[in-house]
Structure 1
């Protein structure tokens, strides 16, 4: 891209921009645009989800690709090499996992394993209801155990016949969309810089510096968010896996990793992760309910550490959003777009916040507007120089 000439006064501009603060009108626009995008997201989830996965892969592979660039490789070759290595390693790991889970000595099928864990969870709930009735007579008078048994029976009877076909068809429909993620990651790596240059060419010269800064800030905000999310996932996996290993639950690291991934979805993911951990613990020790209760305590302690220690050290430092705005936007995201809104509202708000604040500063800065008007007058004068009689 050709260099563009810029008038002087850069220090004055940067100082003025640093002193400005976003006002209520800018923040109203930021929240409004975020809500509008959440509404649109509900109808484009088939594209948004692979885009998010592709972005995560992009930031995972960006570091290795930059090392290859510094070693002298071209951008195309660097992107191709890191994608081949990463995707090849992923395929090998998946094949190894499938081979390990289907060893000849393993006689239980996936259906039987799922039924085993379901029975363990149901037995744990029934035992808990019995203990509660023994401790609180009013619950025994309400026949709590009988009510819960009827609800479980009504839900689990013919579950496969009623829901399995729908689940399989839904998974098959999502598979082609998810396969877009590796392609998106590859083209982000290869053509990301070209796309930024394409956007920058459409910007007037007076706003060129700040537009480059805007693109850099958006990229850095998304990068910090996803890197913080990955660090948070690792910390949650280690802490929860260690706690489950201490109390004797099987496959503690795997359970910790799945629970950490589910925690990407606020509230809903934590509830599902806790239920999964409790079901596994209850199935491992059906005659010792203290193991399952201990798993609940471990999970709660891990979530408290996550909310008050790990998250401020990772995501909190990434987005720089006020806690009140964060909580309100999480509820708004869930109300507008359900589970997808809960998961995506924070990174979406972070990017819109950077764009909105920078655009507000650009449009309200008198120095930049004066430079733009002056540049337009110079272009008009140059274009009409040979037209005067």
Structure 2
């Protein structure tokens, strides 16, 4: 009877897990504000706990964390958004000249040095497409706002979703321990210790990517942006930002950044050798800092995910669930990696 009951409970748990997956898929259009709020609560929980250890109660600690996040967000918007906007406008104005430079200098050099057929690069068609569509891409935000304002219902829904994010984050962060305890209490008693242990291990992996890697990306983006600005690269801030964002996958930020910065340097400077060497020094120093300082400091020796797993998880999450899937991708991949490792250890004995 006990064996039959265990089989029944295991089957019921598996069925509930599958049902939860289907519910997430069916409800994906409305999940984004809740997932974004949960993500903010998860990221803010360690700082809230530190404030509690200083003697603040949970609600007051959460309030201070929210005030800090609000001030930080306002500072970023006021300082960096205008700068990035000017960089994009500069890129918009320089792109046709960059294509002309590639046609007249870069491609002939490739032809002479590597024997590349110039017919491989149809830059004329690319230049025509950019000239036809680039102006419209600069007004994407204005077009989205214009379309939203045409429909009062769509505008109300967008504003409601945006307003839900801080509300959900505040209440989840305030009641984080109670939410976790309530979720654990819904499980059969025999499962609770194992699930709690797995949850702690999953938190270690997820925290390494959502907290640690986020700080690494921000640090690298700031370092590359300031370094390229000191070298004198006009698009340095934009390239540094892209390098930091791409650093979610190890070495991808370095590859994307050094390639883009090298092209921008060759185009901008007539005497390009010294600036190009300085750009390479900036990215070389960034790699040393990432390996020797940023990653050990922010991520430590916690278990990570393979870069291929990160790429696949983000793309698969976006394909299945849209933006909500992107938010879920890395946490779910980290949890699956932990569960698969324990399953392998259980099977192999």
Instruction: Report the Cα distance in structure 1 between the residues aligned to 2:210 and 2:88, rounded to whole angstroms.
Output: 35
Instruction: Report the Cα distance in structure 2 between the residues aligned to 1:246 and 1:112, rounded to whole angstroms.
Output: 20
TM superposition shift of 1:256: 2.7
Q: Which moved more, 1:264-273 or 1:109-118?
A: 264-273
Aligned residue number for residue 208 of structure 2? 224
- TM-score by length of structure 1 reads 0.59
Aligned residue number for residue 327 of structure 1? 308
Contact 1:228 1:318 in 2 (8 A): no
Alignment match of 2:61 (pick from 73, 78, 84) = 78
**Higher relative contact order (CA closer than 8 Å, sequence separation 6+):** 1
Instruction: Report the Cα distance in structure 2 between the residues aligned to 1:117 and 1:195, rounded to whole angstroms.
Output: 52
Alignment match of 2:90 (pick from 80, 104, 113) = 113
Aligned pairs for 1:81-230 within 5 A: 81-97=64-80, 112-126=89-103, 127-135=105-113, 139=117, 142-143=118-119, 147-160=121-134, 163=137, 168-169=142-143, 176=159, 180-230=164-214
Residues 165 and 85 of structure 1, relative CA distance in 2, 3 Å threshold: closer
1:69 aligns with 2:52: yes
TM superposition shift of 1:260: 0.7
Instruction: Report the Cα distance in structure 1 between the residues aligned to 2:90 and 2:131, rounded to whole angstroms.
Output: 17
Which of structures 1 and 2 has the bigger CA Rg? 1
Aligned length: 315
Residues 206 and 184 of structure 1, relative CA distance in 2, 3 Å threshold: same
Q: Which moved more, 1:300-309 or 1:248-257?
A: 300-309
Segments of 5+ residues of structure 2 without an aligned counterpart are 1-13, 149-153
- TM-score by length of structure 2 reads 0.64
Contact 1:239 1:302 in 2 (8 A): no
What are the superposed Cα offsets for residues 222-273 of structure 1, whole Å, 9 maximum, x if unpaired?
A: 2232222034225533663575367443575664344212332678876764
Instruction: Report the Cα distance in structure 1 between the residues aligned to 2:28 and 2:274, rounded to whole angstroms.
Output: 43
Instruction: Report the Cα distance in structure 2 between the residues aligned to 1:307 and 1:265, rounded to whole angstroms.
Output: 12
Instruction: Report the Cα distance in structure 1 between the residues aligned to 2:218 and 2:89, rounded to whole angstroms.
Output: 31
Secondary structure of the residue aligned to 2:122 is helix
Aligned residue number for residue 333 of structure 2? 349
